[in-house]
Amino acid sequence: MSALAPRVAIVGAGPAGIYAADILLGLAPTVEIDLFEKLPAPYGLVRYGVAPDHPRIRKITDALHDVLSDPRIRLRCNVEIGVDITIDELRAAYDGVVVATGADLDVRLDIPGIDLPGSFGAADFVAWYDGHPDAPRDWPLAAESVAVLGAGNVALDVTRILAKHAAALTHTDTPDHVLDALEASPLRDVHLFARRGPADLRFSALELRELAEQHDVDVIVDPAEIALDEHAERMIAQFSQRRIIVRTLTEWAARDQSIRSASRRVHLHLRQRPVRVLGDDRVTGIEMERTASDGLGRMVGTGELLRYDVGAVYRAIGYRSTPVPGVPFDTENGVVPHAEGRVLGEGGAPLPRLYATGWIKRGPVGLIGSTKSDAAQTVRHLVDDLAAADVSERDADPIAHLTDAVDLEGWLRIDAAERGAGAERGRERTKIVDRTEMLSHAGQTHMTEAGR
């Protein structure tokens, strides 16, 4: 290797990007890393996706912060790759560029009525309640009855946050405007619909149980909808998680309906798929079709239609990634085409100095922990390629012109302002949502020094 330290750019300061930086420094200690993030704050979906009532998961930011504190990493938030600087510019200036831009959009659901006012994607709702700077400040929570579509943990998050009384969130970092809107919500019923049967749900058993652990919220399950067929029996015999889920559903279905007294109810409907969203100029209901297993776990429509009066529909059927300009994108699968993290060009050959990791590489599935093993695979190849690269000449600092970037100290000033705002309210933190306000906190010292 030459005398110069290799320089690597990582795009996206979510868990995938930060873990990639950590693993890279472990394997190649002389590397210098610039870590770019388009938002003024790091941590990706750990900050802007994980539900506020899951503080233990949010605490992962402490470990991510430790990585960012390494002096070999320069954090550059408020820099959007493809807008403020291009991928080609990065590839020309760095010995390796790792794309870790995650996923931020909702998968589309092509059924009639899906674009009516009152029909929402989970990603937008999550961004709102988690205080994402680009989310709208107002969220219409006017419906007494809503439908949530989906059989995974995001559907559970959305259902829980809709059904939760705002008082149960006041100790969290949830911004005031979100707490106020939740407080004023007239909601009484959330209908959570899953296409699949009880043994094929993708909920985690723990998060499912949480639904019924909320104050003043009843969970209602129709015993007929959780009847086990042959396929379900096979699944629960094989997989303990599925067994626990079925046990939980069975417990809930057996509860005496007459003792239910909560002011809010979650109705869990299985084996139903959406057919159309009803309404002329806004959502007034949803039409579902009952499904049945074909014996192998595939769900087929039975032709039996059911209608529910709801004033809003939330679809939580999956996330998808936004392509990064200049980086190949497989639109069908919603990922960057790659071979174990090396990004592939049109002919299928690896593109020099370009890598991918995290949800943009693997697709939007898997927990935060799985982004670590994923990053390890990508970084191993990057390190091999760095060892073979000629790092003998380079431009001066390629990002010196990005004067609006928020560095680690700037982010720590935002962090301190959020902790201060939280302390005023008797909490650990209250998120600052407004981008301009975040940037003004980030630049405080700067501005004070300039004003001296």
Ligand X SMILES: Cc1cc2nc3c(=O)[nH]c(=O)nc-3n(C[C@H](O)[C@H](O)[C@H](O)COP(=O)(O)OP(=O)(O)OC[C@H]3O[C@@H](n4cnc5c(N)ncnc54)[C@H](O)[C@@H]3O)c2cc1C
Residues that bind ligand X (CB under 6 A): 11-17, 36-39, 44-46, 49-50, 54, 57, 80-82, 100-103, 126, 154, 157, 319, 324, 358-359, 366-368, 371
Locus of tokens 């799985």: 370
CB 391 within 8 A of CB 4: yes
Least separation in angstroms between CB 36 and ligand X: 5
Strand ordering across the sheet containing 272-278: 272-278, 285-293, 299-309
Least separation in angstroms between CB 437 and ligand X: 18
Cβ proximity to ligand X: between 226 and 368 the closer is: 368
The encoded tokens of residue 379 equal 């970084």
Longest dimension (CA), the chain: 77
Strands 319-320 and 342-344: unpaired
Neighbours of 434 (CB within 10 A): 13
The encoded tokens of residue 54 equal 């899951």
Least separation in angstroms between CB 392 and ligand X: 29
Please state the residue numbers annotated as binding site for NADP(+). 195-196, 207, 366
Cβ proximity to ligand X: between 87 and 147 the closer is: 87
Sign of CA dihedral 441, 445, 448, 449: negative
Least separation in angstroms between CB 290 and ligand X: 28
Q: Which of 412, 397, 418, 422 is nearest to 443 (CA)?
A: 412
Cβ proximity to ligand X: between 38 and 242 the closer is: 38
The encoded tokens of residue 75 equal 């954090």
Cβ proximity to ligand X: between 54 and 265 the closer is: 54
Least separation in angstroms between CB 294 and ligand X: 30
Angstrom distance (rounded) from CA 277 to CA 423: 44
CB 10 within 8 A of CB 358: no
DSSP assignment letter at 46: H
Least separation in angstroms between CB 60 and ligand X: 8
Cβ proximity to ligand X: between 102 and 410 the closer is: 102
Least separation in angstroms between CB 202 and ligand X: 13
DSSP assignment letter at 160: H
Angstrom distance (rounded) from CA 68 to CA 64: 6
Least separation in angstroms between CB 323 and ligand X: 9
Angstrom distance (rounded) from CA 214 to CA 208: 11
Cβ proximity to ligand X: between 36 and 203 the closer is: 36
Angstrom distance (rounded) from CA 129 to CA 268: 23
Rg value, the chain, Cα: 24
Angstrom distance (rounded) from CA 272 to CA 149: 10
Cβ proximity to ligand X: between 93 and 154 the closer is: 154
Cβ proximity to ligand X: between 126 and 201 the closer is: 126
| Amino acid at residue number 62 | D
Least separation in angstroms between CB 143 and ligand X: 21
Locus of tokens 């074909």: 294
Cβ proximity to ligand X: between 223 and 366 the closer is: 366
Please state the residue numbers annotated as binding site. 16, 37, 45, 81, 195-196, 207, 359, 366-368
CB 323 within 8 A of CB 329: yes
Please state the residue numbers annotated as binding site for FAD. 16, 37, 45, 81, 359, 366-368
Report how far apart the first and last C-alpha atoms of the chain are (Å, whole number): 46
